[in-house]
Every structure is written in C-alpha cells, then in structure tokens.
C-alpha cells in the first residue's frame, strides 16, 4: 500500500511509521518542518505542512491508498479549559483537513482515523462493543464529534475506519512506560478502588491491527483496538508488580487523583469495559491476547 500518515511524529505515529516501512509499504509522512525528516527512514517521503490547515499536502494525501490520521494533543495532563479546547480542536481540525484531502479524488483513499475507547460510557460496566452507545463525559463528547467529522468522508466515497484505541503498552512511551519507574521503586499501586476496567493493547498488536484495517476493504466504521484479555486496574497492577518483582502496596486514593488531575482523573478511575468484536469477527489474530503474554514480551527483553 501507499500510506499517507498524519501524526507520524507522535509516540504511536513513530512506531507506526517504522512498522509500515519494515513491512514494505510506501510511506508519505506529513510533518510541520523539514527538521523532522531525520526522525524517519531515509527512503520515506516527507511532506511539509500543517495538519490543522489546508495546503498542498492534501493533494499528495489524496494520491495514497489510505490516509491514516493520528493527530491530536496528548490527553495526559490536567484538563484546564485551555487544555480541553486544544484536545478537542486539534482532533476535529486535523480530521476535517483529512476529509478535505480524500474528497479531492474521484476514487478516494480509505480514511483510517484515530479515536479512543473513551467514546464509551465509563460508568457502564457492561461489555462495550462497537455498537454500544457513547458516554456523556468530556472525552466521550470529543470522541463523538471526532468520529462524526471523520464519517463525513463517506459522502465522498471513502471507506472510513474509526480506531477506538485503548492505551497501547510499550516500554518507550505511553501508560506502561510512565508506570515502570515508580513500580520498580516499589511505589506502585492500584488507582482508587482498582475495580475499574483497564482496557489495553500491546503496541505490536496495535500496529498490526492498523495495517490489517488499512488493507482490508471489507471493514469500515468503528473498530475497538483493545486486547480481548480485559483486566481491572487492580489486576493490571498486581501483574505488573509480579513481573518486576516488586511490591505494589501503595494504592493511590481517588480523592488524591481528583485533587491533582481534576476532571482527567475520571478517565483513570472509570475505564470502559471494551471488547474487540470487529477485529475478532474479521479474523484478526492477536499476538498478545492476554496481559500476561504482553508483559512477558515487553519486560523480559
């Protein structure tokens, strides 16, 4: 495939760029400045442009087989009103620009657009499949509008896939990397009661799933990118501590999380119970379906 990647300089984007290159795909990467070229393999095409603004880059994007859009401000911060506005606008504007790009071609590329399992109601502990209704939290509202913006590409004949991504586990970034140091120091512990579901996906399965969805013309609409082996926050904590050979006796009280993180603490204290039905129904084979196998791979190297 020829893939046009938006958001390739972020944590997930860099992993995806190198993975797709290793798999032999032709890759065009949208970056804001020429100085970003050195981040990627030399034979990848680097296109300069602002993903939040229209520009000549959109013409190059429309020539691809698939446009993958991962643009969006990091949500792991205290959600001030300014932060919330940036979390929202970066996702909506970038998606709007991606839709404009694919619409320029009579045979438009597929649009593989990021989203999150935060779409679902975090207070509903029933298993959330792709057909489950959304929640009413700030993150849910972001995901709803984000998805609606991406689905506009269907009016132009584009196949649209909505990636409802669970936190990917990797050693060099994301939620697991942020936990390794405190857990190795024996300072790890569950968050709040620990009973809340903790959806996750191994970084390798995330990359394989995105490639699978970009190339599978039979799949469209929302897809949960999460492992089938769902665990609670307390189970995740115990398993991680076990692999590191450290105790995990210091739970973080919900009140402390709310005090330090404000509204964002809801995301940590009320995870959705997501299931990857669409991936499984379409024959995707998870390499790391359980948390044990995922941590064994990541932490034994």
* Tens-level pLDDT at each residue, the chain (301 residues): 999 999 999 999 999 999 999 999 999 999 998 888 888 988 999 999 999 999 999 999 999 999 999 999 999 888 899 999 999 999 999 999 999 999 999 999 999 999 999 999 988 878 999 999 999 999 999 999 999 999 999 999 999 999 999 999 999 999 899 889 888 888 888 999 999 999 999 999 999 999 999 999 999 999 999 999 999 999 999 999 999 999 887 888 888 778 777 887 877 888 899 999 999 999 999 999 999 999 999 998 6
pLDDT at 233: 94
pLDDT at 301: 62
d(CA 95, CA 152): 10
pLDDT at 42: 87
- pTM here is 0.95
d(CA 227, CA 267): 18
For residue 51, the number of C-alpha atoms closer than 13 Å in the C-beta half-sphere is 25
Please report the domains of the chain, with CATH numbers, ordered by start residue: 2-169+202-229+275-287 (3.40.50.720)
For residue 204, the number of C-alpha atoms closer than 13 Å in the C-beta half-sphere is 11
d(CA 265, CA 56): 40
Distances (CA, A) of 67 to 5, 80, 244, 269, 292: 6, 31, 39, 34, 33
Longest dimension (CA), the chain: 59
Query: What count of residues does the chain have?
Result: 301
Which token pair is 244?
Answer: 């590191």
pLDDT at 249: 78
Burial of 265 (0-12, 13-18, 19+ CB in 10 A): buried
């Amino acid at each position: 495939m020829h893939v046009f990647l938006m958001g390739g300089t972020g944590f997930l984007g860099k992993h995806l760029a190198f993975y797709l290159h290793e798999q032999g795909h032709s890759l065009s990467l949208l970056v804001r400045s020429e100085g970003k070229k050195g981040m990627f393999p030399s034979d990848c095409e680097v296109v300069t442009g602002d993903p939040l603004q229209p520009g000549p880059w959109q013409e190059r994007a429309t020539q691809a087989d698939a446009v993958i859009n991962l643009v969006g401000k990091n949500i792991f911060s205290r959600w001030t009103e300014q932060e919330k506005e940036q979390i929202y606008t970066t996702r909506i504007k970038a998606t709007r620009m991606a839709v404009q790009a694919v619409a320029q071609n009579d045979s438009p590329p597929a649009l593989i657009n990021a989203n999150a399992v935060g779409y679902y109601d975090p207070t509903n502990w029933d298993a959330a499949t792709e057909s489950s209704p959304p929640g009413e939290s700030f993150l849910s509202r972001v995901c709803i509008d984000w998805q609606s913006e991406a689905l506009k590409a269907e009016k132009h004949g584009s196949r649209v896939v909505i990636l409802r991504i669970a936190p990917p586990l990797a050693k060099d970034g994301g939620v697991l990397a942020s936990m390794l140091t405190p857990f190795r120091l024996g300072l790890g512990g569950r968050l709040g009661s620990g009973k809340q579901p903790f959806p996750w996906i191994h970084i390798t399965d995330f990359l394989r799933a995105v490639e699978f969805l970009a190339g599978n013309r039979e799949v469209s609409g929302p897809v949960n990118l999460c492992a089938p082996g769902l665990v609670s926050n307390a189970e995740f904590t115990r398993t991680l501590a076990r692999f590191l050979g450290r105790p995990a006796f210091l739970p973080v009280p919900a009140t402390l999380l709310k005090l330090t993180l404000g509204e964002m603490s809801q995301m940590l204290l009320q995870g959705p119970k997501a299931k990857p039905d669409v991936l499984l129904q379409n024959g995707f084979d998870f390499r790391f379906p359980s948390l044990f196998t995922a941590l064994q791979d990541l932490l034994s190297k």
